[in-house]
Amino acid sequence: MRKRFTVLALFFIGAIFAQETGTIAGKLLDKESNNQPLPFANVIVGGTAKGASTDFDGLYEITGVPVGTYTLSFSFTGYQTVEIPNVVVEADKVAVVDATMGATAAALEEVVIKVVTNREREEALLLEQKQAVQIKESIGAEQLSKQGVSDAAAATAKISGVNKVEGSGDIFIRGLGDRYLSTTMNGLPVPSEDVERKNIDLGLFSANIIQNIGVSKTYSSLFYGDQASGNVDIVSKEYSGNGELTISVSGGVNTNVIDGDTWNNFRSTQNTNNTTLGFYSSNLNTETALTQESWNPETSNTPANFGISVTAGEKVEMFGNNLSVFFTGSYSKSNQQRIGEFKEYRANFVNDTIPDAERFINTTNTTGLLNLAYRIGSNTKLKFNSLFINKGEDQLNEFGRGGRAGIFEETPVADNASQFVRDQLFRQTTLFINQLFGDHSITEKDEIDWGIGYNVVNADEPNRIRNELNIYGLNDIRFGNTGGFQQRKSSQEIKDKEINGFLKYNRVMTDSEFYSAKFDIGINYRKKERDFESRFNGLALSRSSVGLSINSFDNLDEGLNFQNVDNGTFIPRDQNDTYEALLEEQAAFLNFDIRIKKLVANLGIRYEEDQLDVPFFNVANFSGSDNFIFNEYSNLLPSMSLKYEVNEKHNIRLAASQTFTLPEFKEIAPFEYVSPTGRVTRGNPNLKPSTNYNYDLKWEFFPTSKELISLTGFYKKIEDPINLAQTRGAAGVFSYFNTAEKADIYGVELEGRINLVEIEDKANLNLNVNVTRMWHSQDLKGEDRDAGQFEEFRYKNKTESGLQGASDWIVNGSLSYSNQKEKEFIATLTGNYASDRIFALGSPDDVANKETLYNEEIIENGFVTMDLILSKQINDKLKVKLTARNLLNPKIKQTQLIAQENQAGIRFDTNNNPVNEAEETILSYKKGSTISLSLNYTF
């Protein structure tokens, strides 16, 4: 660790300075030919060697102009030279200067100068936030680069009130997680890639495809109503006007991986033999793989991280109009090793104990984004986005290699045996998003916008291999045989297809200095279909072969082979689980924007019909007579946002709305998913939607174009909240329930983006920090016979609980230094903290003895993460970046209160509360720090 910090310090001290540039662009017209475009004219930036010629359309573009104020000169043979003073060039912005030339000098009123804002920059997004009526916060590509953000999930965690779940792309906004959020890309919905999630894993969206990410924390009738805490919108990159080609390469290591002998013995699954660059291909299904493919894992050497990306953009002429083309593609590979522990308790007694849980993770991500923007005249713009993502995750899990693990269902402690479990899991997610947008200005007051999306997701676990063995001695390792699927190969396929779209008409009714009014009216449509199949193929020991042993659990093929199947030692078994699901949403909305002097109001109403069906399912664990679920809902959803502009720098905002929360497919389909540690999660067909009431009050202060101080108070009331909870019974299953009649959430958010030091053209020191404090509670339901619940969550006299996933405190911050010199150096230190939160609610294990036999709620403990990012512009072509993530390397863990026993049994006080409960760690690991170096070259 000391050596790593020494390297970082030397890099910091040795860094030197850089310079920012902007662009001047525009159109030149010929006054002598009725203002037609004037081609082949010369455009010169005074005092520089920068210049250009106008093209056939009279267009010109001058890039790489240093920040400053210039005189722009237009000249053409036979025409009067036109000089335009005071053209201000700002960093990464486009100064648009349109002019007209004639045989006589042009008047200044014939010259139009404006600045086109680059929506990747922080000040541009702050301006958008300031002018918006709704409460919305964004982070752009500029800040993502400074803070070393690698994907969309990490990006949202920089926004106030947002925190990311470690080890996944799940995020929580104001303490509400997956089922209470909605995710869009460029305003259109995107599907989930995982049976366990409603929203897509934001970690799939690498930073190189992101222009900015916005989180709308208040509801507008333009959005789908299925949300409570907000909408996350990923705005994809498009052509920015520089016409350059950029290539970036990176390399790095994880500190856990280079520790000990892991570097030369990094273990991976058998599936790596059938995987190329994250794409899996095999001619064997799981049934034939039982005997025709090895059960043993693989190893590899020097598992370093690697990445490469290419970005290109250009503007071309097509049919007399401009077509902008932008493409970015990337491939990355990363490796992690995690060592920790896992325990499971039922009714305060330990079931499973795994003191040496080890996980090896190899992840590849291939991403390609194509953006086409075609402008027809001045009134029509068409845009097409196509995004392809393929993520392959190879995950080898081993529990009990040290001979100290105990699994309750396998062997009693009296047998003096331990257990070894190996789970080889490969997941491949292929996502294909296609979007087409149209923007048509009919008149100065009338505009029509539309968008159409078609998305396809294939999320597969093509060959998951799981083995459970009992260790009785050094050379006495026996195959487990409880249930018949202890030695199995399984596959899981999710195929989602989705079409969605919107049509919106916008009309400006009046627009004056003191009063303006406009309205939007439109429709939305969305249809998502899912086909799900899970196939289990196992080898169960025959009755006469129970006790079959092998010499090593690193050579399972010694016992699991074709000969032992052919002679009847092992008997093949199979099980299939399938379900189909449909979500269809259609809505109409009406939205008014009204300004009366300093007061701006957005008033909306939305009528939405939702159909959520599982028209067919066939799963082994469900014993009911019906194998279908049909649900139809209709909602009338009002929304209101008010903004009072106190002065040029102060805003006060008030917002109120009603929304709803639908259960997700996986929350109602009664399929059981088994995690590598053995935790089982199952859907609940009896789930009801939640109804949400949302209120916000916010004060904003913008000291400068780059600074913000804000304070927000919010309240949410949720009727029939949905939570993940432990179920009663010995199986230890987790499921989803309407756990309360209502839940209340109060919160305060404080945000500051402050320039601590600002020396013009020399140095900047910026502090960005946001703090959220929340209070949340729900009244746990008693008996609910309609839902099949009988005191499911009340135990130990508990009638109230916090919400699953909600942290009391969320803190995000960054400190960034920039010298703003010719060869710029940037150093940024970022940190995040989310306090303890409930992973799953508790439950009584037995209703009749709920005060003594119960399972306490599982708590995810809070921790602090810290990253350091150093970047240096070597010259105008080459940029170097050093990134150190997870510097503190905290222990990530889950805990549970367990009642301890003495000789007299469990002791209770006069209120029937255990007096000797102790906090037990039931899951923990460290993920290690990741150090990487990247080179970025622009041609």
Q: Measured between alpha carbons, how far is 790 from 807 in angstroms, rounded to an integer?
A: 28
pLDDT at 894: 93
pLDDT at 333: 93
820 vs 293: which has the higher pLDDT: 293
> For residue 156, is it within any domain?
yes
Task: Assess whether pLDDT exceeds 70 at residue 785.
Answer: no
Task: Assess whether pLDDT exceeds 80 at residue 830.
Answer: yes
The verdict on 232 and 370 lying in the same domain is: no
> For residue 399, is it within any domain?
yes
The verdict on 712 and 841 lying in the same domain is: yes
3-class DSSP state for residue 290?
A: helix
> Could you tell me which of 760, 714, 722 has the C-alpha nearest to residue 743?
722
Look at the block and give the residue holding tokens 């030919």.
33
Extract the tokens encoding 238. 């498009």
pLDDT at 10: 33
Extract the tokens encoding 493. 């396929």
pLDDT at 887: 93
The verdict on 294 and 411 lying in the same domain is: yes
Q: Which of 321-325, 589-593, 778-782 has maximum average pLDDT?
A: 589-593
Asked whether the beta carbons of 714 and 696 are under 8 A apart, the reply is yes
Mean pLDDT of the chain: 84
pLDDT at 251: 95
In order, the DSSP letters of 337-387 are: EEEEEEEEEETTEEEEEEEEEEEEEEEEEEEEEEEEEEEETTTEEEEEEEE
What residues make up the domain containing 13?
2-116
Dihedral, 578, 457, 664, 236 alpha carbons, nearest 10: 180
The verdict on 184 and 307 lying in the same domain is: no
Look at the block and give the residue holding tokens 């004639």.
102
Over the Cα atoms of the chain, what is R_g?
A: 30
> For residue 632, is it within any domain?
no
Q: Measured between alpha carbons, how far is 252 from 269 in angstroms, rounded to an integer?
A: 22
> For residue 498, is it within any domain?
yes
Tell me the backbone φ, ψ of residue 480, rounded to 5 degrees.
-70, 155
The verdict on 693 and 835 lying in the same domain is: yes
Task: Assess whether pLDDT exceeds 50 at residue 50.
Answer: yes
Extract the tokens encoding 423. 């789970």
Which pLDDT band, with edges at 50, 70 and 90, does 102 fall under? confident
Q: How far is CA 324 from CA 51, 157, 735, 780, 857, in A?
A: 22, 32, 49, 56, 54
User: Residue range 602-629: average pLDDT?
Assistant: 83
* Sheet with 68-75, edge to edge strand ranges: 51-53, 42-45, 68-75, 82-89
> Could you tell me which of 267, 577, 269 has the C-alpha nearest to residue 423?
269
> For residue 540, is it within any domain?
yes
pLDDT at 624: 63
Q: Which of 210, 241, 272 is the last residue of a domain?
A: 241
pLDDT in tens, 860-894: 999 999 999 999 989 888 989 999 999 999 999 99
pLDDT in tens, 186-212: 989 887 766 667 788 787 777 778 888
The verdict on 594 and 741 lying in the same domain is: yes
The verdict on 101 and 169 lying in the same domain is: no
pLDDT at 3: 40
Q: Which of 292-306, 617-631, 844-858 has the lowest average pLDDT? A: 617-631
The verdict on 143 and 274 lying in the same domain is: no
Number of domains the chain contains: 3
Q: How far is CA 302 from CA 7, 267, 429, 708, in A?
A: 21, 11, 26, 46
Task: Assess whether pLDDT exceeds 60 at residue 7.
Answer: no
Which pLDDT band, with edges at 50, 70 and 90, does 117 fall under? very low
Asked whether the beta carbons of 280 and 392 are under 8 A apart, the reply is yes
Query: For position 101, which CATH number holds?
Result: 2.60.40.1120
The verdict on 679 and 786 lying in the same domain is: yes
Instruction: Tell me the CB-side half-sphere exposure of residue 451, using CA atoms within 13 A.
Output: 17
Q: Using H for helix, E for strand and C for coil, what is the string for 598-642?
A: CEEEEEEEEEEEEEEEEEEEECCCCCCCCCCEEEEEEEEEEEEEE
Query: For position 137, which CATH number holds?
Result: 2.170.130.10
User: In the chain, what is the greatest distance between 2 CA atoms, to the nearest angstrom?
Assistant: 108
pLDDT at 1: 38
Which pLDDT band, with edges at 50, 70 and 90, does 707 fall under? confident
User: Residue range 591-611: average pLDDT?
Assistant: 92
Q: Measured between alpha carbons, how far is 208 from 250 in angstroms, rounded to an integer?
A: 13
pLDDT at 655: 93
Which pLDDT band, with edges at 50, 70 and 90, does 248 fall under? very high
> For residue 686, is it within any domain?
yes
Instruction: State the amino acid at position 11 in one-letter form.
Output: F
Task: Assess whether pLDDT exceeds 70 at residue 325.
Answer: yes
User: Residue range 555-560: average pLDDT?
Assistant: 92
Q: Measured between alpha carbons, how far is 112 from 106 in angstroms, rounded to an integer?
A: 12
The verdict on 688 and 788 lying in the same domain is: yes
Task: Assess whether pLDDT exceeds 60 at residue 559.
Answer: yes
The verdict on 198 and 97 lying in the same domain is: no
In order, the DSSP letters of 741-756 are: EEEEEEEEEEEEEEEE
pLDDT in tens, 455-506: 999 989 999 999 999 888 777 888 887 767 889 999 999 899 999 999 999 9
Q: Which of 93, 116, 139 is the last residue of a domain?
A: 116
Task: Report the run of H or E that residue 835 belongs to, with start and end.
Answer: none
Could you give the percent of the chain with pLDDT greater than 70? Answer: 88
Q: Measured between alpha carbons, how far is 758 from 756 in angstroms, rounded to an integer?
A: 7
Q: Measured between alpha carbons, how far is 150 from 145 in angstroms, rounded to an integer?
A: 8
The verdict on 309 and 199 lying in the same domain is: no
209 vs 710: which has the higher pLDDT: 710
Q: Which of 240-249, 351-360, 712-721, 801-810 has the lowest average pLDDT? A: 240-249
In order, the DSSP letters of 204-259 are: GSBGGGEEEEEEE-S--TTS-SB-SSEEEEEEEP---S---EEEEEEEEEETTTTS
Instruction: State the amino acid at position 680 in one-letter form.
Output: V
Q: Measured between alpha carbons, how far is 435 from 182 in angstroms, rounded to an integer?
A: 18
> For residue 630, is it within any domain?
no
> For residue 629, is it within any domain?
no
pLDDT at 727: 83
Q: How many CB atoms lie under 10 A from the CB of residue 149?
A: 26
Q: Measured between alpha carbons, how far is 627 from 617 in angstroms, rounded to an integer?
A: 5
Q: Which of 191, 210, 241 is the last residue of a domain?
A: 241
Task: Assess whether pLDDT exceeds 80 at residue 167.
Answer: no
pLDDT at 432: 92
Query: For position 585, which CATH number holds?
Result: 2.40.170.20
Residue 233, strand partner residues: 184, 214
Q: How far is CA 113 from CA 64, 123, 127, in A?
A: 19, 20, 19
- Which pTM value belongs to this model? 0.80
Q: Which of 162-176, 368-382, 430-444, 483-497 has the lowest average pLDDT? A: 162-176
Which pLDDT band, with edges at 50, 70 and 90, does 8 fall under? very low
